């Protein structure tokens, strides 16, 4: 099984971190490749950066997706997820999407902890759009962004653990998601300090993608995620233009 991890921001170090941690989590027999966004913000922590990252994710898929059996969109918040599901011939899973589905099985209410204050309302809207607003206890953000945490994780651990405890004890979460590509690998280091199940965003995403591939996923023939209808374009990469043209 060949899976493509797409990091839709433009920082290769985060791509490398995610690939390294995902390799530890993957089932035997899973082969992983990873791609970085060709354009956009160094990290995604605003609506503007998010909008650009949606395009960058499509661009990366068009360039690197040939031959893969599934795509993991590795930016928690999932920019471009529905567009990528439409454009792709293989299953696509987003970190946030998979995490909230897993969290919803662990209790009535869950929280999300991540880095970067702007993600607060953006993730609330994401959860609501997935129909789970009534299950969300809170989104708790720490001040450093995922990129900053990735550069110096030791410094952020205490704040992340405190945020997770706040989610459980103050907000009533019965499960907590630790989200953020830049936070890959950190959940194991704080889980013992959190009184409720702690869901690792990368692990949840990878498990959901592996399960979909193993279950024989196939492209919907009906509904909103059938193939993108062909359309002419201008100013795009040749690979993406070809995809849009129906290639």
Question: Which of positions 82-141 make contact with a second copy (CB under 8 A)?
Answer: 82-87, 93, 97-98, 101-102, 104-108, 118, 120-122, 125, 128-132, 134-135
CB atoms within 10 A of CB 92: 29
Binders of a second copy among 225-244, rule CB under 8 A? 225, 228-229, 231-236, 240, 243-244
Q: Are 191 and 198 in contact (CB under 8 A)?
A: yes
- Residues 42, 93: Cα–Cα separation, whole Å: 22
- In the bound complex, what is the minimum distance in angstroms from residue 157's beta carbon to a second copy? 18
Interface with a second copy: number of residues (CB under 8 A): 88
- In the bound complex, what is the minimum distance in angstroms from residue 73's beta carbon to a second copy? 12
Please identify, among the stretches 14-22, 70-78, 152-160, 167-175, the one whose residues bind a second copy according to the rule CB under 8 A: 167-175
Binders of a second copy among 66-85, rule CB under 8 A? 80, 82-85
Residue 56's alpha-carbon distances to 36, 63, 143, 162, 239, in angstroms, are 9, 10, 25, 34, 12
Q: What is the dihedral of CA 209, 121, 159, 196, to 10 degrees?
A: -60
Q: Are 95 and 84 in contact (CB under 8 A)?
A: no
Q: Are 77 and 122 in contact (CB under 8 A)?
A: yes
Please identify, among the stretches 13-21, 156-164, 177-185, 215-223, the one whose residues bind a second copy according to the rule CB under 8 A: 215-223
Q: Per CB under 8 A, does 151 bind a second copy?
A: no
Binders of a second copy among 7-36, rule CB under 8 A? 10, 27
Provide the greatest CA pair distance for the chain. Answer: 53
Binders of a second copy among 36-65, rule CB under 8 A? 37-43, 45-52, 54-55, 57-58
Residue from the set 143, 158, 214, 242 that interacts with a second copy by CB under 8 A: 214
């Amino acid at each position: 099984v060949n899976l493509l991890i797409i990091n839709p921001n433009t920082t290769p170090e985060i791509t490398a971190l995610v690939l390294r941690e995902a390799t530890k989590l993957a089932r035997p027999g899973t082969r992983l490749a990873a791609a970085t966004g060709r354009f956009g913000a160094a990290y995604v922590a605003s609506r503007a950066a998010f909008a650009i990252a949606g395009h960058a994710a499509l661009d990366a898929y068009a360039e690197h997706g040939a031959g893969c059996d599934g795509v993991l969109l590795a930016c928690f918040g999932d920019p471009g997820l529905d567009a990528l599901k439409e454009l792709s011939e293989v299953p696509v899973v987003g970190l946030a999407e998979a995490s909230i589905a897993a969290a919803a099985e662990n209790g009535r209410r869950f929280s999300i902890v991540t880095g970067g204050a702007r993600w607060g309302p953006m993730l609330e809207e994401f959860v609501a759009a997935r129909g789970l607003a009534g299950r969300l206890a809170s989104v708790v953000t720490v001040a450093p962004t995922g990129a900053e945490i990735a550069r110096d994780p030791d410094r952020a651990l205490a704040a992340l653990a405190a945020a997770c405890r706040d989610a459980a004890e103050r907000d009533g979460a019965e499960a907590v998601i630790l989200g953020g590509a830049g936070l890959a690998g950190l959940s194991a280091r704080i889980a013992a300090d959190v009184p409720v199940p702690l869901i690792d965003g990368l692990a949840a995403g990878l498990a959901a993608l592996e399960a979909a591939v193993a279950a024989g996923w196939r492209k919907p023939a009906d509904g909103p995620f059938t193939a993108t209808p062909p359309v002419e374009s201008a100013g795009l990469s040749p690979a993406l233009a070809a995809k849009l043209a129906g290639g």
